[in-house]
A and B are shown apart, each in its own frame.
Chain A
Amino acid sequence: MDKLDNILEKRLARLEAGEPLELCLADLPEDEAVSLKKAAMLSSIADTAPASNKFADQRRELLRLARENNKRSSESSSVLKKARPRWVFPAAMAGGAFTIFTCLVIFSLLAGLAGLRWLGSPQGVALKVPDPQSAMLEDLRGLVEVQDSNGTWKVAQVGQSMEAGQHIRTGALSSATLSLYDGSRTRLGPTAEMSIDELDAQKSGPRVVVLTQSLGESQHDVAKSGDPASRYEVHTASGVGTAKGTSFRVFVTVALLVRFEVDEGAVAVTNLDTTVIVVAGQSTVIVFGHVPTQPVFRMSGEGEVEKTGSVWHIAGRTFRADSDTVFVGHPEVGDLVAFEARIVTDGSPILVRVVLVAFAPENRFAFTGTVDSMGGDEWMIAGRAVHVDGTTEIDNDIQVGDVVEVKGGIREDGALWATDIHLIEANEEGLPFEFVGVIDGITDPEWTISGITVTVGDDTHIDTGLVAGDVVHVRGRILDGTWLAKSIERAEEDEREFTITGDVENREPWVVAGIGFDTDERTEIDDGIDAGDRVKVEGRILEDGHWVAEEIELLEDAEPRRFKFTGVVDSINPWSVGGIELTTDNQTVIEGQIEAGDLVFVKGVILPDGVWLAETIKRLDNDLGCLSFSTAVRQTDVNQIVLLDWQVIQLGRKLKVEGEINVATVIIVSGCTQEDGAFSITHIIVIYQLDSLPIIIKRPSHGNGNDEGEHEEDEDDDDHD
Chain B
Amino acid sequence: MASLAPVRETTFMPDLSSPELIASAQRGNEEAIGTLYGAHSQAVFRYFKARLGHQQTAEDLTGEVFRRMLTGLPQYRAIDLPFRAWLFRIAHNLLIDQYRRESGHEMIPLKEVENASADEIDPASVVEQKLTMEDAHRALSDLEPSQRDVLALRFLSGLSLKETAFAMGRTEDAIKALQRRGLAALRLGLAIHK
Q: Which residues of A contact B (CB under 8 A)?
A: 1-2, 4-6, 8-9, 12-13, 15-16, 20-22, 25, 30-51, 54-55, 58-59, 61-63, 65-67, 69-70, 73, 79-85, 191, 215, 254-257, 287-290, 322-324, 326-327, 330, 465, 493, 716-717, 719-721
- A82 interface neighbour in B74, B165, B177, Cβ under 8 Å: B74
Q: How far is the CB of B114 from chain A (nearest CB, A)?
A: 18
29 interchain pairs (CB within 8 A)? A5-B177, A6-B176, A8-B176, A9-B161, A9-B176, A9-B179, A15-B10, A21-B6, A40-B127, A43-B7, A44-B8, A45-B133, A47-B132, A48-B49, A58-B59, A62-B66, A66-B33, A70-B30, A82-B74, A254-B75, A255-B93, A289-B93, A322-B171, A323-B85, A465-B27, A716-B173, A717-B174, A720-B169, A721-B106
Hey, which chain B residues are within 8 Å of A83, CB to CB?
75, 77
B117 within 8 A of A: no
- How many interface residues does chain B have, given as a range? 35 or more
Which one of A35, A49, A191 has the highest number of Cβ atoms from chain B below 10 Å of its Cβ? Answer: A35
Min distance, Cβ B21 to any Cβ of chain A, angstroms: 14
Residue in A34, A44, A322, A721 whose beta carbon sits within 8 Å of that of B149 in the complex? A721
Is there contact, CB below 8 Å, between A66 and B30?
yes
Smallest CB gap from B99: residue in A: A289
Our count of residue pairs bridging A and B at CB distance below 8 angstroms stands at: 220
* Bound complex: CA A33 to CA B106 (Å): 31
A residues near B161, Cβ cutoff 8 Å: 9, 12-13
- A716 contact set on B, CB distance < 8 A: 170-171, 173-174
Once the chains bind, are A42 and B151 in contact (CB under 8 Å)?
Answer: yes
**Are A55 and B41 touching (Cβ within 8 A)?**
yes
If A34-B123, A45-B136, A721-B106 touch, whether A65 touches B42 (CB-CB below 8 Å) is no
Q: Are B67 and A62 in contact (CB under 8 A)?
A: yes
Question: What sequence of 0s and 1s flags, for each residue 159-194 of chain B, a beta carbon within 8 Å of any chain A beta carbon?
Answer: 011000110011101101101100110101000000
Beyond the given pairs A8-B183, A25-B4, A67-B30, 6 more chain A to chain B contacts, judged by CB atoms under 8 angstroms and listed by A's residue number, are A37-B123, A41-B127, A43-B10, A45-B136, A58-B66, A721-B96
A81 near B145 with CB under 8 A, answer: no
Prevailing SS type, chain B contact patch: helix
> Are the C-beta atoms of B75 and A289 separated by less than 8 Å?
no
A330 touches B79 (CB 8 A): yes
B170 (CB) vs chain A CBs: closest residue: A716
9 closest Cβ contacts across the A-B interface? A289-B96, A721-B145, A35-B183, A42-B155, A43-B10, A5-B176, A254-B72, A16-B12, A37-B126
Contacts of A45 in B (CB 8 A): 11, 46, 131-133, 136, 156
- B70 close to A44 (CB less than 8 A): no
Q: What B residues does A46 contact at CB under 8 A?
A: 8, 11
Is B121 interfacial (CB-CB < 8 Å)?
A: yes
Assess whether B89 is interfacial by the CB under 8 Å rule: yes
**A34–B28 alpha-carbon span in the complex (Å):** 46
Q: How far apart are the CA atoms of A39 and B171 in the complex, in Å?
A: 20
Interface string of B1-41 (1 = CB under 8 A from A): 00010111111100000000000001110100110011001
- Checking A54, A69, A82 against B70 with a beta-carbon cut-off of 8 angstroms, the contacting residue is A69
Closest to A288 in B: B93
Q: A34-B123, A79-B74 are in contact. Are A41 and B188 (CB under 8 A)?
A: yes
A254-B75, A289-B100 are contacts. A721–B4 as well, Cβ < 8 Å?
Answer: no
Instruction: Give CA–CA (A59, B66) in the complex, Å.
Output: 9
Q: Looking at the assembled complex, report how far the CB atom of B90 sits from the nearest CB atom of chain A, in whole angstroms.
A: 7
Minimum CB–CB distance from A651 to chain B (whole Å) comes to: 38
The answer to whether residues A721 and B144 also contact, given A9-B176, A324-B169, A326-B80 and a CB cut-off of 8 A, is: yes
A39: contacting residue among B118, B154, B160, B170, CB under 8 A: B154
CB-nearest residue of chain A relative to B9? A44
Nearest-neighbour CB distance to chain A for B161, whole angstroms, equals 6
Return chain B residues, CB-CB under 8 Å to A49. 42, 45
Alpha-carbon separation in the docked complex, A690 to B84 (Å): 43
A80 to B71, CA, bound (A): 10
Question: Is B141 an interface residue when CB atoms closer than 8 A count as contact?
Answer: no
Does B86 count as interface, using CB distance less than 8 angstroms?
A: yes
Using CB atoms and an 8 Å cutoff, list the residues of chain B in contact with chain A: 4, 6-12, 26-28, 30, 33-34, 37-38, 41-42, 45-46, 49, 55, 58-59, 62-63, 66-67, 70-72, 74-77, 79-81, 85-86, 89-90, 93, 96-97, 100, 106, 118, 121, 123, 126-127, 129, 131-133, 136, 144-146, 149, 151, 154-156, 158, 160-161, 165-166, 169-171, 173-174, 176-177, 179-180, 183-184, 186, 188
Task: Tell whether, in the assembled complex, residue A4 and residue B70 are in contact, meaning their CB atoms are under 8 Å apart.
Answer: no
Contact B70 A48, beta carbon cutoff 8 Å: no
Q: Find out whether the CB atom of A5 lies under 8 angstroms from the CB atom of B146.
A: no
How distant is the Cα of A17 from the Cα of B1 in the complex, in angstroms? 26
Q: Are B176 and A50 in contact (CB under 8 A)?
A: no
A42 to B143, CA, bound (A): 14
A171 to chain B, nearest CB (A): 10
> How distant is the Cα of A655 from the Cα of B149 in the complex, in angstroms?
51
Question: In the assembly, what is the distance between CA of A596 and CA of B183, in Å?
Answer: 63
Query: CA separation between A67 and B27, bound complex, in Å?
Result: 11
Which residues of the partner chain A approach B75 to less than 8 Å between Cβ atoms?
Answer: 80, 82-85, 191, 215, 254
Chain B residue nearest to A58 in the complex (CB): B63
Known pairs A42-B136, A44-B10; A50 contacts B55 (CB<8 A): yes
Cross-interface CB contact of A38 among B37, B145, B186, cutoff 8 Å:
B186
Cross-interface CB contact of B180 among A4, A16, A326, cutoff 8 Å: A4
On whether the beta carbons of B146 and A323 are closer than 8 Å, the reply is no
A396 to B123, CA, bound (A): 68
Determine whether the beta carbon of A58 is less than 8 Å from that of B133: no
Closest approach, in angstroms, between the C-beta of A340 and any C-beta of chain B? Answer: 15
Partner of A81, one of B45, B46, B74: B74
Looking at the assembled complex, report how far the CB atom of B6 sits from the nearest CB atom of chain A, in whole angstroms. Answer: 8
**Chain B nearest CB: distance from A664 CB in Å?**
31
Q: Choose one: A5, A41, A69; the contact of B179 (CB below 8 Å).
A: A5
Contacts of B62 in A (CB 8 A): 50, 58
Contacts of B184 in A (CB 8 A): 31, 34-35
Given A5-B179, A50-B55, A719-B146, does the pair A21, B7 have CB atoms closer than 8 Å? yes
What residues of chain A lie closer than 8 Å to B96, measured between beta carbons? 288-290, 721
Question: In the docked arrangement, what's the CA distance between A504 and B151, Å?
Answer: 64
A46 to B9, CA, bound (A): 9
- Across-interface contacts of B106 in A (CB, < 8 A): 721
In the docked arrangement, what's the CA distance between A588 and B90, Å?
61
A44–B131 touching, CB < 8 Å: yes
Q: Which residues of the other chain, B, contact A67 by a CB distance below 8 angstroms? A: 30
Q: Name the B residues within 8 Å of A55 (CB-CB).
A: 41-42
In whole angstroms, what is the CA distance A564 to B86 when docked?
A: 44
Contacts of B97 in A (CB 8 A): 288-289
By a CB distance below 8 angstroms, the chain B residues around A44 are 7-11, 127, 131
Bound Cα distance A67, B132 (Å): 37
Bound CA–CA A58/B61 (angstroms) = 11
Contact between B70 and A42, CB atoms less than 8 A apart:
no
Distance between Cα atoms of A1 and B184 in the complex (Å): 13
**Would A69 and B45 count as touching, CB distance under 8 A?**
no
A40-B128 Cα distance, complex, nearest whole Å: 11
User: In the bound complex, how far is the Cα of B55 from the Cα of A40, in angstroms?
Assistant: 23
